[in-house]
Amino acid sequence: MTASPSSTLILGAGLTGLSAAYHLGDPSLYRLIERDDGVGGLARTRRRPQGFLCDGTGHWLHLAKDYTKGLVGKLMGDNLEARARKARVYSKGVFTLYPFQANTFGLPKEVIAECLTGLIKARYEEQLPAPTNYKEWVRKEFGEGICQHFMYPYNRKIYGVPLEDLAVDFAARYIPRPSVESVIAGALGLSKEALGYNAQFVYPKRGGIGALSEAIHHGAPRKAELGRKPRTIDLELKQCAMADGEVIGFSRLITTIPLNDLITLCHRGRPSSVPAPILEAAQKLRANSVLYFDVALKGDPKPHQDYHWIYLPEDDFPFYRVGSYSAVERSLAPAGHRSYYVEMGHYGEVDPSRFEGPMLDGLRKLGIIEDDSEVLFVTPNVLSPAYVLFDAHYVDARRTILDWLEHQGVISVGRYGRWQYNAMEDALLEGKEAAERILGEKR
Ligand SMILES: Cc1cc2nc3c(=O)[nH]c(=O)nc-3n(C[C@H](O)[C@H](O)[C@H](O)COP(=O)(O)OP(=O)(O)OC[C@H]3O[C@@H](n4cnc5c(N)ncnc54)[C@H](O)[C@@H]3O)c2cc1C
Closest residue by Cα to atom 10, ligand 1, is 423
| Cα–Cα distance measured from residue 285 to residue 393, given in angstroms and rounded to the nearest whole number | 7
| Cα–Cα distance measured from residue 252 to residue 250, given in angstroms and rounded to the nearest whole number | 6
Ligand 1 pocket member 12 (CB < 6 A): yes
* Beta carbons within 10 angstroms of residue 342's beta carbon: 29
Q: Ligand 1 center to residue 386 CA distance, Å? A: 8
| Cα–Cα distance measured from residue 101 to residue 40, given in angstroms and rounded to the nearest whole number | 34
What per-residue confidence (pLDDT) applies to 1? 43
CATH of domain 101-187: 1.10.3110
What per-residue confidence (pLDDT) applies to 195? 53
pLDDT lower than 70: segments of the chain: 1-6, 169, 192-198
Ligand 1 pocket member 423 (CB < 6 A): yes
Question: Strand pairing of 247-249 and 239-242?
Answer: antiparallel
Three-class DSSP category at 266: helix
What per-residue confidence (pLDDT) applies to 3? 46
| Cα–Cα distance measured from residue 204 to residue 209, given in angstroms and rounded to the nearest whole number | 6
| Cα–Cα distance measured from residue 339 to residue 304, given in angstroms and rounded to the nearest whole number | 14
What per-residue confidence (pLDDT) applies to 74? 98
What per-residue confidence (pLDDT) applies to 2? 46
Ligand 1 pocket member 34 (CB < 6 A): yes
Q: Concatenated DSSP letters for 37-79?
A: SSSBGGG--EE-GGG-EE-SS---B---SHHHHHHHHHHHTT-
**Cα distance from N-terminal residue to C-terminal residue, the chain:** 30
Q: Ligand 1 center to residue 170 CA distance, Å? A: 19
Closest residue by Cα to atom 45, ligand 1, is 12
Ligand 1 pocket member 412 (CB < 6 A): no
The CA–CA distances, whole Å, from 361 to 163, 308, 342, 356, 365 equal: 27, 20, 12, 9, 6
Contact 165, 127 (CB under 8 A): no
Ligand 1 pocket member 17 (CB < 6 A): yes
Task: Name the residue type at position 437.
Answer: R
pLDDT digits (tens, 9 = 90+) for 200-248: 899 999 999 999 999 999 999 999 999 999 999 999 999 999 999 999 9
Ligand 1 pocket member 427 (CB < 6 A): yes
* Beta carbons within 10 angstroms of residue 301's beta carbon: 19
Ligand 1 pocket member 60 (CB < 6 A): yes
Contact 320, 345 (CB under 8 A): yes
What per-residue confidence (pLDDT) applies to 176? 80
Phi, psi of 140 (to 5 degrees): -70, -35
pLDDT digits (tens, 9 = 90+) for 386-399: 999 999 899 999 99
What per-residue confidence (pLDDT) applies to 311? 97
Q: Concatenated DSSP letters for 184-250?
A: HHHHTT---S--STTSEEEE-SSS-THHHHHHHHHHSSS--BTT--EEEEETTTTEEEETTS-EEE-
Q: For the chain, what are the domain ranges? A: 8-45+205-285+390-442, 101-187, 289-383
| Cα–Cα distance measured from residue 193 to residue 198, given in angstroms and rounded to the nearest whole number | 11
Pick the CATH number of 8-45+205-285+390-442 from 1.10.569.10, 3.30.70.360, 3.10.20.30, 3.50.50.60: 3.50.50.60
Contact 294, 378 (CB under 8 A): yes
What per-residue confidence (pLDDT) applies to 6? 62
Measured from the Cα of 60, ligand 1's closest atom is 8
What per-residue confidence (pLDDT) applies to 442? 73
Nearest CA-CA partner of 159 in 134, 183, 137, 177: 134
- Whole-structure pTM over 0.85, yes or no? yes
What per-residue confidence (pLDDT) applies to 196? 53
Ligand 1 pocket member 422 (CB < 6 A): yes
Task: Name the residue type at position 395.
Answer: V
Q: Which residues contact 335 (CB under 8 A, 6 or more apart)?
A: none
Ligand 1 pocket member 42 (CB < 6 A): yes
Could you tell which of 212, 250, 415 is best to mutate to test the pocket of ligand 1, judged by most ligand atoms within 8 Å of the CB? 415
Architecture of the domain spanning 289-383? Alpha-Beta Complex (3.90)
